[in-house]
Amino acid sequence: MAADMRLPTIRKQVSLSSSLSALDGKDLVVPGDVITSDTGFMRGHGTYMDEEKLTASVAGEVERVNKLICVRPLKTRFNGEVGDVVVGRITEVQQKRWKVETNSRLDSVLLLSSVNLPGGELVSGMDSIYLGIRKCEVQSVFSDGALSLHTRSLKYGKLGQGVLVQLSPSLIKRQKTHFHNLPCGASIILGNNGFVWLYPTPGHQDEEAGGYYTSLEPVSLSDREVISRLRNCLLALGAHKVLLYDTSVLYCYESSLPHQIKDILKPEVMEEIVMMTRQKLVELEG
C-alpha cells in the first residue's frame, strides 16, 4: 500500500561487453553524418545530397546494395510488407471498410469483403460492428503507404480478453510464426507492428469457433498473474531495447520469477532481469 518514492538517478544502458564488439562491424550514422563523397552511388531512403556529399537524414544503419545506399532507421513507425502479421485496433467504421490503427504512418484499411465470419457469411456495412482488436495479415500496400489487411484464415480475427502492449516495431524479430503458446500458461501474439497481444491459452472448444466467439467469463487468478508478469517483462525488454521473440520473452519471464510482479517495473529490478536475459541469450548462441 505504501507509495514507492525515490530520487531519480541517471539510468545506465544495460549492455554486455560482447555485444559492444558486435556493433563495431555495423555502420551506424546519425542525421548529418556524411556517408560518402563518391558520386557514383545512387541514394535511397534516409539519405540526401548536401553539396555533392551523400548525407544521412535519419539515425540508423547504412545498407549498401551494389550501387544503392540507404539508411535504415533504428526507430520508426511500422512500414508494412505483404505477409506481415499485425495486431490492430479498429478505430473507425466506414461504409465498406474499417480503419485499423497499427502504429504506422497512416491508418490501415480492413475491407469488409476481406473479413470471414463463421459459417462463411460475409459482413455488410450495416451489421453491428464489433469495435475491437483484431489479428490480421497484410494483403497489399497502397501507393501512399497505407496497408490493406485481411483476416481470411481462421487463425486471424477478433481477439477476446487479454492485454495489449505497445512497443517499437523495430524490436520484433521477424519469424515464421507469430502465435506462441508459452509453457508458462499464457499465449502471445507478436505483431510485426509492435503491438503484442497477451491472452490466456484458450481451451480446446474455442479454437473451432474461428475467433469470433468472445468468452467474457472471468480469467482465473493464476492465468492473470502470468499475463501481468509477461506484460511487465515485455515493457522491461522494450525499455532496454532487446529484440523480442518467444525465446527472449520466455527467458525474461523465468529471470523475473524471484521478484514480485509489481516490482519488475522498478529501474534496478528491470536492469537485473534484462542482464540475466541477455546473458542467457548469449549462452544460447555461443
Interaction site with other proteins (CB under 8 A) = 1-11, 30-32, 48, 55, 57-60, 73, 75, 89, 91, 103, 130-133, 159-164, 166-168, 194, 214, 216, 218-219, 221, 224-225, 228-229, 231-232, 260-262, 264-267
Nearer to other proteins, 256 or 281 (CB): 256
User: What is the spatial order of strands in the sheet that 34-36 belongs to?
Assistant: 34-36, 53-56, 47-50
- Min. distance of Cβ 286 from other proteins in angstroms? 31
Task: Pick between residue 10 and residue 20 the one whose CB is nearest to other proteins.
Answer: 10
Q: Quote the least distance from Cβ 213 to other proteins, whole Å.
A: 11
- What's the closest the beta carbon of residue 101 comes to other proteins, in angstroms? 8
The DSSP result for 161-194, as a single string, is: S-EEEE--GGGBPP-S--EEE-TTSEEEEE-TTS
Under 8 Å between Cβ of 216 and 161:
yes
Q: Are 138 and 86 in contact (CB under 8 A)?
A: yes
C-alpha cell at 276: 540475466
146 residue type, one letter: A
CB of residue 34 to other proteins, shortest distance in Å: 13
Q: How far apart are CA 148 and CA 162, in angstroms?
A: 25
Nearer to other proteins by Cβ, of 232 and 281: the residue is 232
Provide, rounded to whole angstroms, the least separation between the CB of residue 149 and other proteins.
17
